[in-house]
């Protein structure tokens, strides 16, 4: 039996129970003051009532409510009609009206237990536990040994704060069923609320006599001693528990918490390790502890070694459960130990491929490590497992691009874009990558179209604004549009050397060499001095400004840095700019 019985659990099916009272031949007063309905009124009432019942069963609650209200105008003393209205109000969330109609139902039919149970449920939802208890006490007059009623009464009394009455009710139950663990623990809780510690302990002692082989009861007593600031007695009970049951993982968890509260961190951790070492201990509880460590170690990094040690112990104690390795991977990843984290996550996938979160971690790490072939192979498998997760398609497309398999990249990116719904930023990333892929295949019309779609989803996507503008400038195509995008890019993220370089290069392509020179100097001063591309562009601009010797110096510096155009060597050899 559940420790706290909810009143709603007492209700049986009452879908059409109200019909039991709909046709009762009782003398009733009507609005006209007559003591009995006419035959026509009886027929009209019956028609409205059963028609309303039909609408209610069909889910037409508003229509049913109106018809029940019309029926009440004919017979305002119809308990069944008031009850049905109460249920409709409850269904629609109007709990105050549900209470009022429920009370009216009982007023006109005090003997109907279903009406009382339904109203008790409403009172419970309203937190009116005194009224709940009163209704159940009425029900117990007719059925004094009904255990469901008694548990409901004890629960309501406890919720109302009448713990003494609740204990007496549970005593009544015990007289019927005999001593049970649920009853003893309920009474223990009530006595603790009343401050009667000795009585609470007495209830647990009774359980010990009933089940002498159950060592865990010492843990309950230890908790009582802890709650009443008697740590020596609490420790004695925990030690007795472990003497009787040395492999009790729960006892070690409790002792770990006990020592933590006592401020003995070293003993607390030792008990925690013992709990983790026990393969019979709950892995769910162990994972909860590690989750707490994950949060705490962000603020207290000194506890990280403890967390790692517990992860390793957990994996050893539960080698067949991959969740331990997943948590271990999370700790390693947070410390930027990418290869070690990747190893743990891959071991998780060997045991269980169903976790998208683990797949996502693996793909992210492979991308960070630039393992593009591995990223491509794994994301291809992930696309089969998670066909509606756009992220795996994006990883696959990016990997294919890096492997220069642009047709495969385009296929994956199109599929991913088609399953991306309600995420403008992600959609923009898909079309940005499509634009790059088409650019590499020299499909410039398709590339432009993809970039424009990317900007429709995210007009402030600096990656798209910069790349699109730069590729247009390389082709000498729509330079005004390129200039506009490059300027916006620099406004959104000022001081970025790549963005400054793009704007300079567009001015260069527009034959504004002085403007280009000013902007390329901004790029160099912002950190572009270490970029071969930017140094080469500086040389190109100087050459167009008639400064051949200076241009040659920058071209040579660019060659040393690398990441330059294929024509740079020819420029140096011929000492002139080559388009």
d(CA 521, CA 135): 86
**Whole-angstrom Cα distance, residue 324 to residue 312?**
8
User: Domain residue spans in the chain?
Assistant: 1-126, 491-579
Going 386 to 391 to 392 to 393, the CA torsion angle's sign is positive
**pLDDT score of 16 more than 90:** no
Q: Going by C-beta distance under 8 Å and a sequence separation of 6 or more, which residues neighbour residue 536?
A: 554, 555, 558, 564, 565, 568
- Homologous superfamily of 1-126 in CATH? Tetratricopeptide repeat domain (1.25.40.10)
CA 282 to chain centre: 23
Q: Average pLDDT, stretch 524-544?
A: 95
At residue 311, the pLDDT reads 97
Question: Which candidate, 453, 376, 384, 374, places its Cα nearest to that of 409?
Answer: 376
Q: DSSP per residue over 77-132, as a string?
A: T-HHHHHHHHHHHHHTT-HHHHHHHHHHHHHH-TT-HHHHHHHHHHHHHHT-HHHH
Question: What average pLDDT does the segment 44-60 reach?
Answer: 92
End-to-end CA distance of the chain: 86
The three-state secondary structure class of 188 is helix
DSSP sequence for 276-296 = HH-TTS-HHHHHHHHHHHHHH
CA distance 297 to 206: 43
Residue 389 phi, psi dihedral angles, 5° rounding: -105, 105
Same fold, 1-126 and 491-579: yes
Do 170 and 206 touch, CB atoms closer than 8 A?
no
Residue 205 has pLDDT above 80, yes or no: yes
- Check residue 227 and give its pLDDT: 87
pLDDT at 25: 34
**Does the pLDDT value for residue 64 go beyond 70?**
yes
Q: Which residues contact 351 (CB under 8 A, 6 or more apart)?
A: 320, 322
Q: What are the distances in angstroms from CA 1 to CA 169, 181, 431, 577?
A: 15, 10, 59, 89
pLDDT digits 0-9 by tens, 77-109: 999 999 999 999 999 999 999 999 999 999 999
CA dihedral 285, 287, 290, 296 (to 10 degrees): -80
- Calpha distance 164→306 (Å, rounded): 46
The tens digit of pLDDT for each residue in 405-459 reads 999 999 999 999 999 999 999 999 999 999 999 999 999 999 999 999 999 999 9
pTM of the model: 0.70
Q: Could you tell me what percent of the chain has a pLDDT over 70?
A: 94
Specify the fold of 491-579.
Answer: 1.25.40
The whole-angstrom separation of Cα 155 and Cα 129 is: 9
pLDDT of residue 1: 34
Residue in this structure with the two tokens 């007059």, named with its chain if needed:
141
pLDDT in tens, 507-518: 999 999 999 999
């Amino acid at each position: 039996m559940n420790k706290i019985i909810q009143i709603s659990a007492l209700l049986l099916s009452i879908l059409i129970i109200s019909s039991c009272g709909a046709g009762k031949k009782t003398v009733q007063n009507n609005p006209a003051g007559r003591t009995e309905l006419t035959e026509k009124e009886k027929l009209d009432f019956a028609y409205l009532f059963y028609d309303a019942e039909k609408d209610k069963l069909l889910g037409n609650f508003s229509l049913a409510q109106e018809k029940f209200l019309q029926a009440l105008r004919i017979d305002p003393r119809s308990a069944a009609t008031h009850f049905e209205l109460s249920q409709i109000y409850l269904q629609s969330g109007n709990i105050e009206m549900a209470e009022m109609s429920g009370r009216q139902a009982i007023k006109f039919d005090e003997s109907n237990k279903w009406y009382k149970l339904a109203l008790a449920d409403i009172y419970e939802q309203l937190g009116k536990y005194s009224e709940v208890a009163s209704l159940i006490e009425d029900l117990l007059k007719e059925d004094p040994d009904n255990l469901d009623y008694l548990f409901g009464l004890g629960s309501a009394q406890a919720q109302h704060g009448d713990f003494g009455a609740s204990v007496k009710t549970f005593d009544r139950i015990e007289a019927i069923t005999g001593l049970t663990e649920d009853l003893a623990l309920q009474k223990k809780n009530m006595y603790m609320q009343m401050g009667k510690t000795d009585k609470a302990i007495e209830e647990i002692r009774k359980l010990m006599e009933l089940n002498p082989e159950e060592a865990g009861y010492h843990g309950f007593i230890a908790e009582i001693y802890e709650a009443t600031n008697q740590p020596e007695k609490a420790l004695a009970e925990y030690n007795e528990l472990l003497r009787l049951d040395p492999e009790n993982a729960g006892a070690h968890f409790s002792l770990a918490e006990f020592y933590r509260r006592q401020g003995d961190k070293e003993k607390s951790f030792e008990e925690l390790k013992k709990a983790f070492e026990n393969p019979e201990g709950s892995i769910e509880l162990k994972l909860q502890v590690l989750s707490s460590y994950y949060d705490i170690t962000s603020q207290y990094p000194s506890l990280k070694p403890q967390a790692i040690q517990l992860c390793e112990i957990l994996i050893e104690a539960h080698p067949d459960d991959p969740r331990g390795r997943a948590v271990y991977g999370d700790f390693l990843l947070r410390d930027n130990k990418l290869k070690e984290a990747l190893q743990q996550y891959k071991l998780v996938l060997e045991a269980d491929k169903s976790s998208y979160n683990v797949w996502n971690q693996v793909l992210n790490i492979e991308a960070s490590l630039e393992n593009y072939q591995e990223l491509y192979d794994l994301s291809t498998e992930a696309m089969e497992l998670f066909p509606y997760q756009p992220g795996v398609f994006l990883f696959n497309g990016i990997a294919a691009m890096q492997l220069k398999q642009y047709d495969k990249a385009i296929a994956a990116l199109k599929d991913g874009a088609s399953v991306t719904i309600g995420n403008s930023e992600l959609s923009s990333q898909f079309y940005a990558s499509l634009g790059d892929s088409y650019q590499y295949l020299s499909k410039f019309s398709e590339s432009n179209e993809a970039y424009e779609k990317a900007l429709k989803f995210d007009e402030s996507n600096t990656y798209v604004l910069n790349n699109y503008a730069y590729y247009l400038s390389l082709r000498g195509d729509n330079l005004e549009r390129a200039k506009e995008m490059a300027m916006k890019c620099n406004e959104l993220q000022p001081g970025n050397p790549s963005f400054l370089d793009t704007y300079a290069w567009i001015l260069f392509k527009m034959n504004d060499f002085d403007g280009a020179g000013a902007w390329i100097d901004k790029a160099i001063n912002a950190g572009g001095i270490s970029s071969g591309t930017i140094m080469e562009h500086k040389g190109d601009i100087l050459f167009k400004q008639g400064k051949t010797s200076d241009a040659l110096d920058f071209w040579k510096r660019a060659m040393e840095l690398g990441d330059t155009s294929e024509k740079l060597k020819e420029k140096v050899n011929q000492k002139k700019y080559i388009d």
